[in-house]
Chain A
């Protein structure tokens, strides 16, 4: 793992042709030099004849990117717009009341301040406000987006949230599902919404997922058992 560790200022032999640069890089506008700017693990992969470079690093503050799935909290309603908070101390994103499937002037959702929604980032330009929508762009239908009712909301670090979101068979979830039934929504902004049958199981699941950020894969069954036993 030491080999793939990158810190800011390291020189990388990356040719600027046929590449896609992911997060963690900055191209100097004067010299066109590719600079790594974050400390993390360098991941190189191939996609349609192009080499993709990404520096995967842990962070807590979320910066919206188009097509991210996020969990937001409604912080205000202004005419036909909702203000949605994606992370603390950052500018709220906006969402049109028509950004729901089949929404019209007469048939529109009634969300209140404090409601939790699962949405997709529609656009995230650096100079204008971030916009969200609750429609699956491929089908035009609900597709799992919309209001998340009841349940419990908590946060984990962003790298872990991405891992849980992109790996349906994440070990911690496959192990946890053996213990109890639950519904789960993971947002790229580090928020996780969980709903299970009783308050006790919900709190246990929350504790287990939070703690599992510090567990290695082989420790999961043992540690999960310990935490589960402590609560039940």
Chain B
């Protein structure tokens, strides 16, 4: 199992930024907002959310568009959109190095979701709850969280699970994406185990946020 590494506030021209490395996958994320929306994006009572994902080389393709749509589902459920009427929140993600297992984009998306969460926190965007995701594979009837690329390539099913977190506990299921062959029972096991995984991950992320906040307020103490 590979533990993710996080870092925040590394870009100074945007409101919030983060990098996240999970194994070989590395993503850099920036959030700008609330800013003035273009007339076609503007919504009268809530903010518009713009998600852009860039691959490591070249311009985005359908693969990135697909990831953007999935990430937008998660962000729509967690950003407190009514706080910023007629404004725009831009979330940009650049994949610095992508997963070596190219069968699916779930590992990259997993990094994108967690990176976006930290960047939103750094940008001080109003969120209704925290959220984190996990990526699991079923390999030889075993459930493996944060698998290596060899494990991904030899697995029969892949699951990305994202929960919102309230009071340190995984609360509601925000998003689940599964690829491969699996039974309903297997999916339920994945969901059950993901809760524990997300809660333990939340402890590490919270520590990152604590460090970030104490760095932000270093002048106060």
Give A contacts to B, CB under 8 Å.
1-2, 5, 7-11, 26, 35, 37-41, 56-61, 63, 89-91, 126-127, 157, 159-160, 163, 172, 212-217
Contact = CB atoms under 8 A, between A and B. Distances in A.
A41 B128 contact: no
Interface in B178-221: 206, 209-210, 212-221
A63 B217 CA distance: 20
Q: Tell me which of B164, B215, B217 has the highest count of chain A C-beta atoms within 10 A of its own C-beta.
A: B217
Contacts of B210: 1-2, 5
A2 B214 CA distance: 9
Contacts of B32: 61, 89
27 contacts: A1-B214, A5-B206, A5-B213, A9-B127, A9-B166, A10-B167, A26-B83, A37-B83, A39-B124, A39-B213, A41-B217, A56-B217, A58-B216, A59-B123, A60-B124, A61-B15, A61-B33, A61-B34, A61-B123, A90-B34, A90-B35, A90-B36, A160-B219, A214-B218, A214-B219, A216-B221, A217-B219
Chain B interface size range: 35 or more
A18 to B, nearest CB: 24
B165 interface: yes
A9 B164 CA distance: 8
Contact of A37 (B16, B128, B212, B216): B128
A7 B165 CA distance: 10
A142 to B, nearest CB: 31
A215 B217 CA distance: 9
Nearest to A38: B124
A215 B130 contact: no
Contacts of A41: 213, 217
B214 to A, nearest CB: 6
Contacts of A60: 14-16, 123-124
Nearest to B210: A5
